[in-house]
Structure 1
Amino acid sequence: MKAIAYDHFGSADVLELKDLPDPHPGSDSVLVQVKSASLNPVDYKVREGYLQGVIDAVFPVVPGWDVAGVVVKAGLDTPEFAVGDEILAYARKDVISGGTLAELVEVPVRTAARKPEGLSFEDAAALPLAGLTALQTVRRAGVAAGSTVLIHAAAGGVGSYATQLAVLAGARVVGTASEGNHDYLRSLGAEPIAYGEGLVEAARALAPEGFDVILDFVGKGALDTVPQLLRAGGTAASITDPAARDEYGGQYVWVRPDAADLAELAQLAADGRLKVEVADLVELAQAADAYRTLEGGHVRGKLVVRP
């Protein structure tokens, strides 16, 4: 099969289009023909070696955890799926090796859900990691009807899903974003404010009594404003900064594969209640350039690869 792979840690320059052996499904996995896969910032952090000791790499590494495709072979004990089923998955395994930027990928059934009719493969592939991160963070932080929520990086890949999920839960959402993304945030149901100088004052003007929940999807010191903006008894949560848990008694979220959560997200998207933003569609051979674009930090929505 054709796949994007690398044999050692490094920049996007280590990525190559290779011919690799077809993978085989384990007893509780299915083999999937990849229709679409999407890129995430964690992919290049893995590629640069930053997750060694958390999830070990086995070379050659095929990057990618997000996938949508068709089951072409089932494992020995996979009653959940049959050949021909269309699925999506956050196909994270115990080691980093056989990822989704390939023509074929082995997918553990615990990470996968059926793709609803009406949801494209491209949109389905853009959902898993970012959508699950958003959903699990919103839930663990206790966002509910009547909550006033501040979301940092609300227009980003995770933040845009979290914004919508919080609004669907009945919360009032204030989101930080660059000026160019303010209309986009309004379209998602949020009240936008700008990053940087004046953020605390702008947030206080909208929520004088403070926020019930603050969600951090960017890091870079975003939690420094928690003492000024979080109301007494409120909750802070972050996917980048353990201080949310260790200093502020909130939640530090490392997303988990969850088939039921993924099925819920997929149905929301298929029903038109959750908007999926695809920034660009690229071919497998263009994946290295797509990663360079992602690493530039100014992509709104997901970059999707079609083998």
Structure 2
Amino acid sequence: MRAVRYAEFGGPEVLHVAEVPVPEPGPGQVRVRVAASVVHPVDLMVRSGRFPAPLPAGPPYTPGWDVAGSVDAVGPSVDEFTVGDEVIGFSPWLQTTAGAHAEYVVLDAAWLTSAPAGVPATEAATLPTNGLAAAQALDLLSLPAGSTVLVTGAAGQVGGFVLALARAAGLHATGLAGADDREFVESQGAAFLSRTDDPTGTFDAVIDLAVIGSALLALVRDGGGYVAASPPLRPEPVRGIRTFALEVLPDGSRLGALVTLVSSGTIPLRVADVYPFADAAAAHDRLARGGVRGGVVVVP
């Protein structure tokens, strides 16, 4: 099968399409024929050799966390899926290096769910990683309806999902984003704050996706909550504020609940650009330039 690979760290030019063996599913696993996947900032960090933690295996690597496609084969003890089922899922790449920028990928059945009906694979692929990140950030906070939450980086992929999920949960969200993103932020039922201004106000919680940092704790009420974008960025608690770090975990059941919200129109799916495997370097370059509003999708 064809897969996007790199055997050494470096710029986007190290990416190439290679022929690799088709993986076989083991017990509890499913092989998915990939229709679309997505490039994330962490892919750029790993590819360039800047990821700060050790990886479970050495190169060559096939990147890719999200998958939208169809079940091609099932391993023993898999009852919930059959060949031909349309599915989406999340690969915890930093633990497994099982990359979805390939014609086929093998994942645990528990990491998959049925794809949203009638939604193109290029759109459906934008949901797993970022949708789960948004849902799990709000799960960490466990905010009751009516609570206020400030979301930085609100127009990004995770931020957009947070705003939509906050509205569905009856929360009052405020989105910090660029001036050009005001319409999108307000379309998700959130109040808008420009990132060019110093954020003000008092909130029950902050989800800091733009990595502004611990200065935002000053905006959180005593005993409130704060979610950092990754474990190294989690600040020490002050004034009884609960601080958390976002670590996205595979969860087919939670992803299924997000699919239901997509189908009802509660969650918007946004695609910025679509690239074939052969143009994976261009996809990485597009994401690195910034200002992306939607998923940068790669397809076989």
- What residue number does 2:256 align with? 263
Structure 2 residue matching 1:289: 3-state secondary structure: helix
Structure 2 residue runs without a partner (length 5+): none
Q: Counterparts of 2:137 and 2:69 in 1: how far apart (Å)? A: 26
AA in 2 matched with 1:83: V
Residue 128 (structure 1) aligned with residue 121 (structure 2): no
Q: 1:239 aligns with which of 229, 234, 240?
A: 229
- State whether residues 57 and 95 of structure 1, in contact with CA within 8 Å, keep that contact through their aligned partners in structure 2: no
Structure 1 residue matching 2:129: 3-state secondary structure: helix
Q: Counterparts of 1:154 and 1:97 in 2: how far apart (Å)? A: 29
Report 1:197-216 matches (<5 A). Answer: 198-200=197-199, 203-204=200-201, 210-216=202-208
CA RMSD of aligned residues (A): 1.7
- What residue number does 2:178 align with? 178
Q: Counterparts of 2:108 and 2:52 in 1: how far apart (Å)? A: 22
Residue 49 (structure 1) aligned with residue 42 (structure 2): no
Which 10-residue stretch deviates more, 181-190 or 43-52?
43-52
Which 10-residue stretch deviates more, 243-252 or 158-167?
243-252
- State whether residues 213 and 233 of structure 2, in contact with CA within 8 Å, keep that contact through their aligned partners in structure 1: no
Q: Counterparts of 1:52 and 1:217 in 2: how far apart (Å)? A: 18
Shift of 1:142: 2.0
Shift of 1:152: 0.5
Q: Counterparts of 2:141 and 2:232 in 1: how far apart (Å)? A: 14
Q: Counterparts of 2:169 and 2:130 in 1: how far apart (Å)? A: 18
Q: Counterparts of 1:128 and 1:289 in 2: how far apart (Å)? A: 23
Structure 1 residue matching 2:61: 3-state secondary structure: strand
Shift of 1:31: 1.1
- What residue number does 2:142 align with? 142
Residue 306 (structure 1) aligned with residue 296 (structure 2): no
Shift of 1:94: 6.4
Structure 2 residue matching 1:58: 3-state secondary structure: coil
Shift of 1:46: 2.0
Runs of at least 4 residues off by over 6 Å: none
- TM-score, normalization: structure 1? 0.91
Shift of 1:241: 5.8
- State whether residues 144 and 166 of structure 1, in contact with CA within 8 Å, keep that contact through their aligned partners in structure 2: no
- State whether residues 58 and 97 of structure 1, in contact with CA within 8 Å, keep that contact through their aligned partners in structure 2: no
- What residue number does 2:37 align with? 37
- State whether residues 149 and 173 of structure 1, in contact with CA within 8 Å, keep that contact through their aligned partners in structure 2: yes
Q: Could you report, residue by residue, the CA deviation over 1:83-142 in whole angstroms, capped at 9, with x for unpaired residues?
A: 111110002256453311111111211211111322321221100110000000011112
- State whether residues 155 and 184 of structure 1, in contact with CA within 8 Å, keep that contact through their aligned partners in structure 2: yes
Residue 225 (structure 1) aligned with residue 224 (structure 2): no
Q: Counterparts of 2:179 and 2:111 in 1: how far apart (Å)? A: 36
Structure 1 residue matching 2:158: 3-state secondary structure: helix
Would the alpha carbon gap of residues 241 and 106 (structure 1) be closer, same or farther in structure 2, given more than 3 Å must change?
Answer: closer
Shift of 1:143: 2.8
Residue 296 (structure 1) aligned with residue 284 (structure 2): no
Would the alpha carbon gap of residues 18 and 250 (structure 1) be closer, same or farther in structure 2, given more than 3 Å must change?
Answer: same
Identity %: 34
Shift of 1:161: 0.3
Q: May I ask how many residue pairs the two structures share in their alignment?
A: 297
Residue 286 (structure 1) aligned with residue 279 (structure 2): yes
- What residue number does 1:195 align with? 195
Q: Counterparts of 1:174 and 1:52 in 2: how far apart (Å)? A: 31
Would the alpha carbon gap of residues 291 and 93 (structure 1) be closer, same or farther in structure 2, given more than 3 Å must change?
Answer: closer
- State whether residues 92 and 111 of structure 1, in contact with CA within 8 Å, keep that contact through their aligned partners in structure 2: no
Q: Counterparts of 1:194 and 1:67 in 2: how far apart (Å)? A: 33
- What residue number does 1:151 align with? 151
Shift of 1:253: 1.5
- State whether residues 155 and 177 of structure 2, in contact with CA within 8 Å, keep that contact through their aligned partners in structure 1: yes
Structure 1 residue matching 2:249: 3-state secondary structure: coil
Q: Counterparts of 1:143 and 1:288 in 2: how far apart (Å)? A: 41
Which 10-residue stretch deviates more, 76-85 or 256-265?
76-85
Shift of 1:245: 4.8
Q: Counterparts of 1:172 and 1:9 in 2: how far apart (Å)? A: 43
AA in 1 matched with 2:268: K
AA in 2 matched with 1:251: F
